[in-house]
Amino acid sequence: MTITKDLSKHPCFNRESAGSCGRVHLPVAPKCNIMCNFCNRKYDCVSESRPGVTSAVLSPEQAVAYMEKVLEKEPRITVAGIAGPGDPMANPEAIETIRLLKEKFPQMLFCLSTNGLALPARAAELAELGVSHVTVTVNAVDPKIGAKIYAWARDGKVIHRGEDAARLLLERQLEGIKILKEKGIIVKSNTIVIPGVNDQHVLEVSRKLSELGVDIQNIMPLFPVAETPFAEVPAPTAEMIKDLRAKAGENLPQMSHCKRCRADAVGLLCNDRSGELAPLLHECSHTVPGTDLSKRPYVAVATREGMLVNMHLGEAHKFQIWKQEDIGFSYVEERYAPDPGAGPKRWEELAKVLSDCRAVLVAAYGETPRKVLTAAGVLPYECSGFVEAALTEVYGAGDLSLLKSRRKGLGKACGCSGGSGEGCG
């Protein structure tokens, strides 16, 4: 049965629907493939509203469970989007999430936001999955200007810097947008105005976007963020933004009702409920759907010395097993992991070894073990830092930022790439 969707019910692309149609951003994409000089995703505050910020990261299965619960509380949701906290195209979990959502909520509109670096390779697949709206952030169409905005871009195993990075990013953005339009997908482009960097270049960007057939442009003011190269750059004035939108509007339609949504935004644009539903998001991020936690009292930890979570899942030959007590945590025992080299069967065997564990804490893991372990009821967490701090978090009483691994210098024993986890979607 083919479902005809009303594409006008996307509140970000259609201002007229903003007061009656809501959106939920599902934070399933923590990794990023570029580093923007205005981006810092380390901070989280339930009252802070800006891209790249989230109170939790969900697996695809958790995202579906969260979506069900959100719709119970806010039935006006018409759009399921993925906007970070990293770049959806740098995270296979994003594609898997959309695939699962399509099966469960076929009536929903699906959208995502991307920097565009990996877009050409995924654009056709997005169309096949029924993604109707895509936002591509284009801040410059001149590599010389782009080099001032982006510190680096990672394409596979290669990291590009300076003008090379900006040139590659621009090429991919233009190619990706072209494919999206050929596939009939509605495209919005975000352009961040950075005084002294690209403010005199924005109209050239809008002209190029118009040539590509972009449907709407969202000219956004820079939001200076601490501990970034642009932290001291003054935000553009409201008058500057108004003037740029008016002039760019001669090239293509302009969005003027953007709320600079978080990566876990939920609700109507005029009535965001991210803070209210943060406990629900937190709850879903700590459980595998359908798992009875009373039968899984333990947490496994990949650690070299017993103090830090610092081993890659594929490198760990053994795991420490911990449990929560009335006050604090206690070490239970040590369990050996199956021998490497057996493919997916290795992770099936590991799931049996950890059958009474609700989670396993590791420095990093690959997509195959994530799927196998999650399906078996063992939730893998990428994290760094002290074991006790991570245990406090996974048992649901701590700061979510403790579980954000930086993914530097990690091995490839279970299909995970190394590199920095920072950047901007």
- Chain position carrying tokens 């018409």: 78
Q: In the chain, how many H helices and how many E strands?
A: 11, 18
| Ramachandran sector of residue 385 (left: φ over 0; alpha: ψ -120 to 50; beta: rest) | left
pLDDT of 206 > 60? The answer is yes
77-82 and 22-25 beta bridge pairing:
parallel
Mean pLDDT of 149-168: 95
Ranking 17-21, 75-79, 385-389 by mean pLDDT, the lowest is 17-21
288-403 to CATH, choices 3.40.50.2300, 3.40.50.10490, 3.60.15.10, 3.30.420.130:
3.30.420.130
The whole-angstrom separation of Cα 141 and Cα 331 is 56
For the segment 276-317, what is each residue's pLDDT rounded down to a tens digit?
A: 778 888 778 777 777 777 889 999 999 998 899 999 998 999
Bridge partner residues of 385 (DSSP): 309
Give the model's confidence band at 422: pLDDT under 50 very low, under 70 low, under 90 confident, else very high.
Answer: very low
pLDDT of 31 > 90? The answer is no
Mean pLDDT of 22-41: 87
Please tell me the predicted confidence (pLDDT) of residue 50.
Answer: 53
Please tell me the predicted confidence (pLDDT) of residue 404.
Answer: 57
Average pLDDT, the chain: 85
Better-predicted residue by pLDDT, 72 or 21: 72
Topology adopted by domain 7-284: TIM Barrel (3.20.20)
Mean pLDDT of 66-82: 90
Mean pLDDT of 195-205: 95
Better-predicted residue by pLDDT, 366 or 218: 218
Domain boundaries, the chain: 7-284, 288-403
Tell me the CA distances in angstroms from 326 to 49, 78, 293, 332, 360, one per residue in order: 36, 43, 17, 15, 21
pLDDT of 62 > 60? The answer is yes
Better-predicted residue by pLDDT, 136 or 413: 136
Tell me the CA distances in angstroms from 114 to 36, 135, 210, 258, 263, one per residue in order: 13, 6, 18, 16, 12
For the segment 105-143, what is each residue's pLDDT rounded down to a tens digit?
A: 999 999 999 999 999 999 999 999 999 999 999 999 999
Please tell me the predicted confidence (pLDDT) of residue 263.
Answer: 77
Count other Cβ atoms within 10 Å, centred on residue 13. 24
Mean pLDDT of 62-73: 92
pLDDT of 415 > 50? The answer is no
Predicted TM-score (pTM) of the model is 0.74
For the segment 213-270, what is each residue's pLDDT rounded down to a tens digit?
A: 999 999 999 988 888 889 889 999 999 999 999 999 999 999 877 767 777 888 777 6
Please tell me the predicted confidence (pLDDT) of residue 52.
Answer: 61
